Each structure stands twice: as structure tokens, then as C-alpha cells.
Amino acid sequence: MKGCTLKDICKDRISVSKLSCIEKGKMPAKIKELEFIAQELDLPLEYLVQTEEEQLENVIRELEGIEDPDRKIELLETNLLYAEENGLKSCAFRLGHLLFNNYIQKDEKDRIQRMIPRYYELWKKSGLKEGDLIFCRDMAGFLFSAGEYGQAAGYYRSLGKVSKKHRKLDAVAYAASCEAACHMKLGKYEQAYDAAVSLKEIVDRMKAGLEKAEAYKMLAMLSLRKANDKFAWYERKAYEFYDENLEYKAEAMYDFASIMFDVAMKENATEYVKNALVLYPAKSQQDHAEFMLKCIEELVENDVHEPAKEKCDQALNLAIKTGNLRHLEKAYYLKARVLEREGDSGSAEIYYNLSLDTLLKFGTNSDLQKKYMQVGEMYHRMGNTQEALRNLDFAIKMERRI
């Protein structure tokens, strides 16, 4: 890398043949020889005395601090290949873990799918004592975010078992809480209650922090579902352990509101969503936009249009400012829903089509099939049969491609 030959380095201090043997690992170097080599190559002595694994561990620590996601992924891929080629199995697993999660953050669906079997092999070969905890948690989290709640529940169940094996009390509680959340997403409430049984037994013994707060949140959500009088107590405990983490506290309020809508507590739910929107911090525009759109969608889906209307333009402006096409598409769609509800069909049609045009720039066939269905249904409600049939025909063609 320095562009030096062995002769350039050796001078009259070390023979070329000896340095060649040192370089190839056939002969150990004395400390004075290493000091000389380090000086000639302008490298710290510590670098030369480290093993390849120690050097790579330092690289991994540096990679974790890189903020540019594309540059980070590029370097993770390069170093993972190096680790695999040189049999550095522990480092390879850690790099695989980071790469997998960075693909998820970038929503790189194709890369994620290709990475899954590779990540599994890296875990099996690593021999790391708690590698099963990391792998199960990563896979469960990915499947949950992808909406594959049944598979995610299986991985969270596995995470609970390996957490017990490693005697990780907080991880056991986290797994039980997340498994219950999966069953709730699937509408399997009895299975959710079953998954949360162990949670009730251990939550008080957990150390203070986010996972304890999340455990209390899940118990509060189940209390709402069962209509018992424990909700307020569990809710208060959850907020207590979220402490100053306003993002999590606002997310909890949203989750409580979502259940309240389901169990005919519409007024309470609306207030919870309003409070969540006020509470969520605006320090990250991307995260703020994502949360705002999620709340607006919940209001629209439950026919609460006045507060949704108030926030729609704000969300749209934020999406335009950040340039996030996914947020922009959703903001257009929600704006159209609100306008249609108000009886402004002409403006609603414009925003529905803006939503479709934006989605065409990045959406998958599945995304487009769903959008053509939505636009077709909109034209049907407006009485425009010709346009309704045209968009529904597009939806059918997209479904065939899928």
C-alpha cells in the first residue's frame, strides 16, 4: 500500500530474505526490528504488533462511528469479505450483524434477502457465546418491521429460550413483550396474553431502562384489550421508566391510541394521538415526518378528520423539505383522503394522482398494485366508472407480475 519494495525498507539494517520471512509470518521479528519497520513505513508500532483480528476489531469500532450510510455499507462489505477470506470468524459475524442492520436502515430489500442465509452461516461458524442472542434478535426485529408477524413471533420465542439459557433476565422480558406484540398484530389476543404471562412475573425484577418501560407498555396494552383496571398503573410505570426519552413515550401513546380506537374509546384515542404528536421531538426531521404520517393515518382510518387535516399540510411540507419520496407519497395520499372526506373531489383526485406518480419512482410491483386499487376505488366512489376500471385493470396486471 505504501508502494515500497523490501529493499527500500531494509537498507543496511535487515536482510531482504529475513524481512521477507517476517512479512510472510515464517519468522518472528524482534522488537527493535519492528520499531525500525514501523519508522520506515510511518506506522505506529502498536499496529505492527497487533494480530489481524485485533486490527480488524479496531476497524469495526471505527466503522460504527461512520455517519454516511452508503460509505459505511461499502466499507462493511469490503471488511466482511476480508474477514471471511482470512478465517476471522468472530469479526466476520460482528461485521455481518452491522451490515445486516445497515441494509435494514437503508431499506435495501434485495440485499437483505441475499444477506439472510449468509448471516446465518456467519453466526453458526462464529462460535460466539452469545451469538444466538444477537442473531435471533436481529432476525425477529427485521421480520417484525417487514410485517411478517407470524415468523417474527417464532424468532422472539427462540430469543426468549436462548435468553433463559444465558440467564439474561431483561432479554427474556424483551422477547416475551415482542412476541406478545406479534400476536396482537395478528389479532391473536389469547396467544398474546399467554406470551405475556412470564412478563408479569419478572418485570419488577428488571433493571431500570427502556426494556423495562417497553415491558410495562405491553402489559398496559394488554390491559386495554382485556378492559381491566390495571391500564393506568402500567401506563404510569411505562412513562416512569421511559424517563426523558420522548420518542419512546410518544410511540407508547400512539400504540395505546391504536388499541383505544379498536375497543371503541374513540375520544380517548384521539386525545392520545394529539398528545403524542405534541410530545414527539423534532430533532430528526425524517423521524418526525415518519411519526407524524403514522399518526395522521391512524386518525384518517378512524374517521377523525379535523385533527388529521390540521397536521396534513405540516407533514407534506416536512416531506418536501427532506426530499423523502416515501414520506411524500404517503403525505399526498393522506391529504387526498382528507379532501375526499370533506367533499372536495377535484382536489382529492389531484392528490391521489400525485401519490401514484411519486410511487412510480420507487415502488415495488406490490406497492403499485395496492396504489392502483386505492385510486380505482377512489374513482368508483366519485362515480367515474371509466377511470375506476382503468386503474383496477392496472392493479390486476401488477398482481400478475407479483
Domain boundaries, the chain: 1-49, 207-281
Mean pLDDT, all residues of the chain: 93
Quick: pLDDT tens for 60-86.
Answer: 998 988 889 899 999 999 999 999 999
pLDDT band at 23 (very low <50, low <70, confident <90, very high): confident
pTM, 2 dp: 0.75
Quick: pLDDT tens for 147-160.
Answer: 999 999 999 999 99
In percent, how much of the chain has pLDDT > 90?
78
Quick: pLDDT tens for 258-286.
Answer: 999 999 999 999 999 999 999 999 889 99
Place of cell 375520544: 267
Q: Is the pLDDT of residue 21 over 80?
A: yes
For residue 205, give the DSSP letter.
G
> According to CATH, what is the number of the domain 207-281?
1.25.40
pLDDT band at 55 (very low <50, low <70, confident <90, very high): confident
* pLDDT the model gives residue 292: 96
Residue 12 neighbours by CB under 8 Å, 6+ apart: none
Q: What is the rounded distance in angstroms from the CA atom of residue 47 to the CA atom of residue 2?
A: 15
End-to-end CA distance of the chain: 48
Place of cell 377523525: 304
Amino acid making up residue 187: G
Query: What is the number of other CB atoms lying within 10 angstroms of the CB of residue 373?
Result: 17
